[in-house]
Amino acid sequence: MFAGACVLPAHPHSSASLASSMTAFTILVCGGGSLGHVTPALAVAEALQKREARCGIEFVCSERRNERLAIEACGFPVRSLSVPHLPSGITFQWLVFPFSFALSCLSALRIIRAVHPNSIFSKGGAVSVPICLMASALGIPIILHESDSTMGRANRLIARIAIVTCLGLPIDETLHRARRVVVTGNPVRSIIARGSKDAGKRITGFSGRRPVFMILGGSQGSLALNQAVFTHIDALLEMADIIHLTGEGKQRTYQHAHYFSREAVGDDIAHLYALADIIVSRAGAGTLSEIASVRKPAVIVPLTGVARDHQRQNAELLAAMGGIVLLRQEELSRLPSVLSSLMQDPEKRQSLSAALAAAQKPDAAERIAQLLLDVQ
């Protein structure tokens, strides 16, 4: 546990006096299901540490290994929580779900009693629900953040008990049950904006004399984008060097002097962003916010069939603002021509990157951190 700075009275649920602790207050951060939940939470944790160096911060994530590794790499204590998925349709799993969820709530209660948090910061996902329900029952204040342009089931539930609901993008749905709504923007780790083009060249082996396309499918990768890359690899390589982040377990054996690939996204992604001239990506809110923060033109291919169709809605919102080129998955055969057109139009690339950057609030992490500090 990290040490905390201002001495405040303990919550009634805490069995230990803060006078006997090096931590003035502790914030429990919960969220998971993908790195899209975790990386914005890490940005907020970083901002909290800068504002209040002795603030205690601990994490609860899902059982996905990449989430735990990302949190541990930043030096924060982390616990995993198993939460059953809500069954869909008519299935016998509805008979099991109440008992499985009750066990998750008991595990969440044990975590809360072990950590003694003064407040909760929730980034959503199923793992957040038991934590927030138990915290609310104990009178611990909750601040929620929703990254996407539409709110998922977990966050719609948590918004009813959170004292503040923070939004990354304007949401067109009614949040009449939320106590207070603040459009903060989506938090991005400060390291993302500190990339070096020279470091990117060293990582990839590229000379920097050719344009660079960076193609990524989010933390889990995209089979459709990967297939499009290899279907059109000759045409793409004629135009540019290629950085290809395939996702874990999706990398192919392909070698070319102008092609660099990697499975996982690491902290050096900032250097790869810096080297890129155009980025092709899925429409997860976290990735879109990172692209906005590095001011790069982007071709966005939203993933279809996901919960609430949130990627399509994210992409359509930003396309309407002039911030991205929207390319639907069924149109991926047009990828080379779309990229070629952009390469021949520097004014279009500039207008795209400027409009996308304007949609991003660069102080989002700091604003959320201050809201968390205000409730202590």
pLDDT computed for residue 309 by the predictor? 84
Mean pLDDT confidence for 267-279:
95
| Percent with pLDDT over 90 in the chain | 73
| Fold exhibited by the domain 191-359 | Rossmann fold (3.40.50)
Query: Average pLDDT for residues 43-66, to the nearest whole number?
Result: 94
Is 50 exceeded by the pLDDT of residue 94? yes
pLDDT at res. 249: 63
**pLDDT band at 15; cut points 50, 70, 90:** very low
User: Is pLDDT above 80 for 64?
Assistant: yes
Q: What is the CATH number of domain 18-188+362-374?
A: 3.40.50.2000
- Equal fold, 18-188+362-374 vs 191-359: yes
Q: Give the residue, 35 or 192, on which the prediction is more confident.
A: 192
Give the pLDDT band of residue 53 (cuts 50, 70, 90): confident
What is the rounded average pLDDT of the residues 254-263?
A: 92
Confidence check: pLDDT of 200 > 60: yes
- For 337-362, what is the mean pLDDT? 96
Query: Can you list the pairs that 75-83 forms with residues at least 24 positions away whose Cβ atoms lie under 8 Å?
Result: 76/2, 76/29, 76/42, 76/45, 77/1, 77/2, 79/111, 81/30, 81/32, 81/107, 81/108, 81/111, 81/127, 81/130, 81/131, 82/107, 83/126, 83/127, 83/129, 83/130
Q: Is the pLDDT of residue 229 over 70?
A: yes
User: pLDDT band at 95, cuts 50/70/90?
Assistant: confident
User: What are the domain boundaries of the chain?
Assistant: 18-188+362-374, 191-359
7 pLDDT higher than 50: no
- The pLDDT, as a whole number, for residue 292 is 96
Which pLDDT value is given to residue 3? 32
- Please report the pLDDT score of residue 36 as a whole number: 87
